[in-house]
Amino acid sequence: MTQREKDNAYRREYRKRTCNAATKKYEKTINGLLMRKYRNMKSRVTGIQKQKSHLYEGKSLLDKELFYDWALGSADFHKLHEDWVNSDYDRKLCPTVDRIDSSKGYVIGNMEWVTHSENSRRGNLSRLKKND
């Protein structure tokens, strides 16, 4: 086993032992939350997240730096993040990125910040309309 493999094994064991506490704490910060949001968007459009890959696969994804600039320049993002922090990190209030037009990807002009609850509600309405 190489030193890198040993280090990775140690880190996995440490995260398991601590229930990933350091990562969970980091993901509550602005940079940590943005890192997680971008990683999730990327895994959707590249097909890593298989469950709903038909909704995202092959869609556009803006560059990571452009995403960070867009997010950090958004008053809506900062307000939603502040509300989420003040709620003691209520999952329903967590800021999420919603695509305005679901036939398009994650690109400037087709994204907006909403709460997790609002994003879920919109997804449910969209599914209901398709089944009518």
- 3-state SS class at 109: coil
Mean pLDDT to the nearest integer, 55-70: 93
Q: What is the pTM of this model?
A: 0.83
What CATH number does the domain containing 70 carry? 3.30.40
Give dist(CA 20, CA 23) in Å, integer.
Answer: 6
Choice among 31-35, 37-41, 50-54 with the minimum mean pLDDT: 50-54
Confidence category of residue 126, pLDDT binned at 50, 70, 90: low
Please give the Cα distance from 97 to 112 (Å, whole number).
Answer: 6
| Domain count of the fold of the chain | 1
Average pLDDT score over the chain: 92
Q: 114 is in which domain, residue-wise? A: 3-131
Q: Which residues pair with residue 106 across a beta bridge?
A: 61
Residue 113, SS3?
A: strand
In this structure, are residues 93 and 47 in contact, taking their beta carbons and an 8 Å threshold? no
Choice among 12-21, 62-71, 97-106, 122-131 with the minimum mean pLDDT: 122-131
- Alpha carbons 124 and 111: distance in angstroms, whole number: 18
Q: What is the dihedral of CA 20, 71, 107, 129, to 10 degrees?
A: 70
Residue 108: helix, strand or coil by DSSP? coil
